[in-house]
Structure 1
Amino acid sequence: MDKHDTLHTSVDVRDFINAAPVSRFQILISTMCFLIVALDGFDIAIIGFIAPHIRGEWQLSMVSLGPLFSAGLLGLMVGAFCSGPMADRIGRRRVLILSVAWFGAASVGAALAPNVAWLIALRFLTGLGLGGAMPNAITLTSEFSPERRRGTLLTLMFCGFSLGSALGGVVTAYLVAGVGWRGLLAIGGLLPLALVPVLWFTLPESVRFLAIRGGTQAQIAATLRRVAPSHVVTGQTYSAADDRLPSSPVVQLFHRDYRRGTLLLWLAFFMSLLLLYLLINWLPILAERSGLTLKQASMFAGLLQGGGVLGAIVLGVLIDRFHPYKVVAVAYLLGAASLASLALTDSAVWLAAGIFITGFCVSGSQVCANVIASAYYPTSNRATGVAWALGIGRIGAVAGSFGGALLLAAGWSNAGLFTILAIPAMLAALGILLAGTKHRPATQAPDAVSAPSPTALS
């Protein structure tokens, strides 16, 4: 091609990223998002670890702790629902950095709370930022990842959440005696605030967002030059094939081309997070009822999280190689089978193995469901699609937390509980599998892990 022809060449930014090797710049973006979700996980988990110390200092009843936990979950829900449409209008970068600064500042404020009412209010405000950070970290990482490696890069990035959650327990064990619960909340706020200037200078805006929202060619070319300098040619123009639909990002979720898939993804997210949060909150009690010591019972939460991390990595590689919807649906079904099998024996060894397998299949599948959601929607409402799916999932998380209490109060045996818990996993598998059969019109340009056409995966 001569220079004159080059001047008239237009390149789709998605094709540009897909054609280039994974660069240090893309790894840097994934690393920054890894740190964000790690701090997100730390701040979400820390309240559970410090709750006994808060209760002791203020002489609170167990009932009084309920609103403290619920406030954070409510904030996560509202933050997710609000941040997605905002990011689809003003940019992923701005909303992501604002969310990190917001939950950092709110966590520092919570450390100064004079009473439980103020602490509840500030935990709600913290949740708003936390709810906005995660979906936008997923979206930004997705839009800078080549389709052939998206599953691997996103699942590795999302492992930061599990790491941050686990670190909450370790940090509490070693530091709470010295700095108190207020000091731990302050740490959970100061770390993200310290990260904000780093994010400001390292994170770019999504080139796909710029291409559909009026970004200049110079801006897009400058960012793509950091991805693959040798692929940027003077005079080329850049565009995005998945043009903006003529409606708001939220309304687009219910566009005729996405409505069915949106509802099916919501079903999967709701059921998946209902199951996971029920297990996270009540698994130690279930294990203790099986005859284990309190220390042994507490370790089962670690088995669930550890299985989830390994499952996310393995399944992330598999969805890059095979049909992603089928891989995730099969994993959910294996998780359901694992849970049902726990009703057949009281063996501590099998209970440990079954919980690990459940974490591998269900928690790992939930991470991959985030990958699927991030690729299911067009650029114009991708952040909204991911954020609202997570918001619906948070409703499931609340339902799971309260549902476990109701089932235990009703006198359900462990065998009965494990049997009934297989149902949400099966429904999550059904939602993902049916979402994968949705046919897109030829005018759309879905990503590699979006809903396949009847003949092949796009």
Structure 2
Amino acid sequence: MQVHAGAAAGASPTTLNVQALIDQNRMSPYQYVVLFLCFTILALDGFDTAAIGYVAPALVAKWGVARSALAPVLSAALFGLAFGAMAAGPSADRFGRKPVIMVSTLCFAVFSLATAYADSIQTMAVLRFLTGLGLGAAMPNAVTLMAELAPARHRSFIVNAVYVGFPLGAAAGGFVAAGIIPHYGWESVFLLGGILPLVFLPVMARVLPESVAYMVARQYPASAVAGVLERISGKDLRHVTTFVPGDGGKAPASKAAAGKSALAQNLSGRYLLPTLMLWTVYFMGLLIFYLLTSWMPLMMKDVGFSIEKAAMLTALFPLGGGVGTLVGGWLMDRLNPSRVLAFTYLLAAVLLVAVGQSLSGGNVVAFAILVFAAGTMVTGAQASLPALAAPLYPTQARATGIAWMLGVGRFGGILGSIVGGVLLGMQLPFSVILAILAVPALVAMTALIVLAARIGPASAITAPNTSSRSIEFQ
């Protein structure tokens, strides 16, 4: 049997283009298993990341501290998320996606368990920072791994299906917190957030593969690459002696670029402006997301809701992102991805203003619907950005490109947590705070319009004999 998928003319029949093979086939059962594993990693990540916002009212009541005193705790994990992501991207481009995912998951599991035993704000802040290091490292590498194993024609939807685990995990945290805190205390949320990933780790170790694009780029033995591709394609590839990447992203612009670090590649030449625009969008989106998820339970409590109802209403915001992420991925595979997300942020700005206005009318049902709708836009657009970013970067710099977008964006989350405390301290009306949040949504929209003008349109559906969806820089 001879295998020749997408190789250049004259190439040996024992040469196989790995991206062409992935693109020519439908998603296999094994790829769906990997999708489920990556989805679960992000769901656990989302649960642990959002946990502190849901337990904040209980901490205020039990420890007898002012709300503003919790600001270091609320922002500590976000600093960890930022530094964890920025360190994990280059690490994954050097050591592989799977090892970094495993280590980071173990890290956030252990420190989440330790957080349950914190007895002061200072101790909890340190533990939340350490938890954040693991949380920040896990997400970009799970997304990168799935992007590199997905057929190009459905990549946006598949990557978004993975990323939807994060808002769903964050939303589940609200419902779980509302159910267990009254019975078992705030500690139970962190205990659960640590036990679940520890139980899941052995499954990940056994089933999760390394990225074939990474293995080819790092010149792994042909047998290692074939082992993963055989599980994906169901074909016998034992006689293939040479694998070529058919890079699902971009090759380095020059030999000089190939010699640069992954981060240096992303911040030079044709990658610089798209990188800066992606950083801007992610920064603004997380500013909105973390201000609301961190402080909305306290805002709701201030206007008369119980702790349980405040947590459940706040959970509707990230829950809406599940719908927005899947619909966004479907549209991005068919239309210009940057323009799809720009329009989404415009709708987000309108809905954020509407949420603020709706509470004054006293209609809780209308308020809940608008919170869900605003979350659909904000969280859905935010969760779609890794799918937008993945094809822009070459394999050897892709994990860094996605991870640094997430890492730099985390500082927007940090700013959101701090600004939320300041705005509450100013005793501004809820409607004014939500109107202010429309501004970063419009800034994100503008950055995406610039990005759409900078890159050429992606081909709609990759033909069977092509290696990847192509994005050309103008």
Q: By the TM > 0.5 criterion, same fold? A: yes
1:33 is paired with a residue whose SS is helix
**Structure 1 residue 28 displacement after superposition:** 0.7
Does 2:396 align with 1:380?
A: yes
State which drifts further: 324-333 or 178-187: 178-187
**Structure 1 residue 53 displacement after superposition:** 4.4
Does 2:397 align with 1:368?
A: no
1:205 is paired with a residue whose SS is coil
State which drifts further: 177-186 or 201-210: 177-186
Q: 1:328 to 1:214 in 2, by over 3 A?
A: same
**Structure 1 residue 385 displacement after superposition:** 0.9
* Deviations 1:157-205 (CA, angstroms, capped at 9, x unpaired): 2222222223323333443455444444232212212211111110111
Q: Counterparts of 1:226 and 1:320 in 2: how far apart (Å)?
A: 25
1:230 is paired with a residue whose SS is coil
Aligned residue type for 1:41: G
Equivalent runs, 1:57-456 vs 2, <5 Å: 58-113=63-118, 115-176=120-181, 179-230=184-235, 232=237, 234-235=239-240, 237-240=242-245, 241=247, 242-243=250-251, 245-283=258-296, 293-294=305-306, 299-341=312-354, 346-347=360-361, 348=363, 351-410=367-426, 412-439=428-455, 448=469, 451-453=471-473
Q: Counterparts of 1:116 and 1:415 in 2: how far apart (Å)?
A: 30
Relative contact order, higher structure (CA 8 A, sep 6+): 2
Scaled by the length of structure 2, the TM-score of the pair is 0.85
2:454 is paired with a residue whose SS is coil
Q: Counterparts of 1:131 and 1:163 in 2: how far apart (Å)?
A: 17
* Deviations 1:278-317 (CA, angstroms, capped at 9, x unpaired): 232344566678x775576655423322322111111111
Q: 1:452 to 1:37 in 2, by over 3 A?
A: same
Give the conservation status (yes or no) of the 8 Å contact 1:435–1:451: no
Q: Counterparts of 2:275 and 2:431 in 1: how far apart (Å)?
A: 34
Aligned residue type for 1:21: R
**Structure 1 residue 66 displacement after superposition:** 2.3
Q: 1:406 to 1:44 in 2, by over 3 A?
A: same
Q: Counterparts of 2:300 and 2:107 in 1: how far apart (Å)?
A: 37
Give the conservation status (yes or no) of the 8 Å contact 1:436–1:451: no
Q: Counterparts of 1:299 and 1:34 in 2: how far apart (Å)?
A: 23
Unmatched 5+ stretches in structure 2: 5-9, 253-257, 457-465
Q: 1:429 to 1:231 in 2, by over 3 A?
A: farther
State which drifts further: 37-46 or 204-213: 37-46
Q: 1:106 to 1:415 in 2, by over 3 A?
A: closer
Give the conservation status (yes or no) of the 8 Å contact 2:80–2:129: yes
Residue of structure 1 aligned with 2:20, choices 4, 11, 15: 15
CA RMSD of aligned residues (A): 2.9
Scaled by the length of structure 1, the TM-score of the pair is 0.88
Percent identity of the aligned residues? 36
Q: Counterparts of 1:116 and 1:452 in 2: how far apart (Å)?
A: 50
Q: Counterparts of 1:9 and 1:435 in 2: how far apart (Å)?
A: 40
* Deviations 1:204-263 (CA, angstroms, capped at 9, x unpaired): 110000111121111111110110023747335211244462211111111202001100
Q: Counterparts of 1:305 and 1:439 in 2: how far apart (Å)?
A: 30
Give the conservation status (yes or no) of the 8 Å contact 1:253–1:385: yes
Aligned residue type for 2:278: L
1:436 is paired with a residue whose SS is helix
Give the conservation status (yes or no) of the 8 Å contact 1:270–1:396: yes
**Structure 1 residue 360 displacement after superposition:** 1.6
Aligned residues: 448
Q: Counterparts of 2:289 and 2:54 in 1: how far apart (Å)?
A: 18
Q: 1:249 to 1:394 in 2, by over 3 A?
A: same
Aligned residue type for 1:366: Q
Aligned residue type for 1:307: G
**Structure 1 residue 74 displacement after superposition:** 1.2
**Structure 1 residue 402 displacement after superposition:** 1.9
2:260 is paired with a residue whose SS is coil
Give the conservation status (yes or no) of the 8 Å contact 1:340–1:419: yes
Q: Counterparts of 1:352 and 1:305 in 2: how far apart (Å)?
A: 12
**Structure 1 residue 2 displacement after superposition:** 6.8
Q: Counterparts of 2:374 and 2:349 in 1: how far apart (Å)?
A: 8
**Structure 1 residue 29 displacement after superposition:** 0.7
1:437 is paired with a residue whose SS is helix
State which drifts further: 237-246 or 409-418: 409-418
Give the conservation status (yes or no) of the 8 Å contact 1:101–1:193: yes
User: In the alignment, what sits opposite 2:33?
Assistant: 28
